[in-house]
Amino acid sequence: MKRRKILLPFVLLVLALGLVAAGWPHNPPPDNFGMQLVYMQDGVYDPSVPPAEGDLAEWYHKTVMGRSDAEIEAQRAAAAAYFLEQFGETLGEPVAFGVDPRDEYRVYKITGMRVPAEGWVVRDGGFRIDIQDDGSGGETLHGVYGGQEGKWVPAGSLMVFGEYNIDVKKWSGHDDPNDIIIHYESAEPIIPTDDGLFFRCRLSSNSFDDFGGGLAQGVSASQTAPDGRKIANVRNILTFPGLGFEGQEALNQ
């Protein structure tokens, strides 16, 4: 009888804790934000060996995104229109691209979801424009970014317009999950340096409440092993709204 009296409070405590835990959201967002995702790359591979997927741009647009040739050209036109408005120049035709799956681009945290320790694969691709040398060592950009006076950027800089496609696997409560698709577009040129590059992209998504739009900010600083293998090294934080609720309110005043 005494053992039963001891076990009963313990069982009730376990049940109570279980009910409380069930009410807690998985991976709640940081204060002042509605949604957060954390991406990383850490793949190690020989870049001299072609990827198994073949042409990565075609693989991304056709296999991952399921686009027809006409749909790919429509996306290219949308990218060209964005680049013209944002950067104010006719910079040439946007070039399709896809990120090599061997980079092991994965998401490790998504607000409200139980992402496993191995993460979920992020398929990344779209269209890009690379800045050429007009004789000055780069080009002067106008549009929303550069304004009437313009801003000079060095050759080798680039702008992107594409999507992150997250291959969501089965997790508690979701037996048949859909891919998460997040659109991104360069807010300013990505300027590589000898040590890597910093990027900042505006975000939007119909896969979840994007709180009016988000921001992806990160660094890419791949290394080369002594044997020539590439060591992918990206850290990317996505937040919605981009600057947080208070920051967006202050910016929009």
pLDDT digits (tens, 9 = 90+) for 176-235: 578 999 999 999 999 999 899 999 999 999 999 999 999 999 999 999 999 999 999 999
169 pLDDT band, cuts 50/70/90, is confident
pLDDT score for 22 = 37
Strands 105-110 and 120-130: antiparallel
Percentage of the chain exceeding pLDDT 90: 80
Bridge partners (DSSP) of residue 95 are 128
Map out the domains of the chain as residue ranges. Answer: 37-251
Provide the whole-model pTM. 0.87
Non-local (6+) Cβ contacts of 242 within 8 A are 202, 203, 213, 214, 215, 248
What average pLDDT does this structure show over 96-122?
A: 96
Check: CB of residue 181 under 8 Å from CB of residue 164. yes
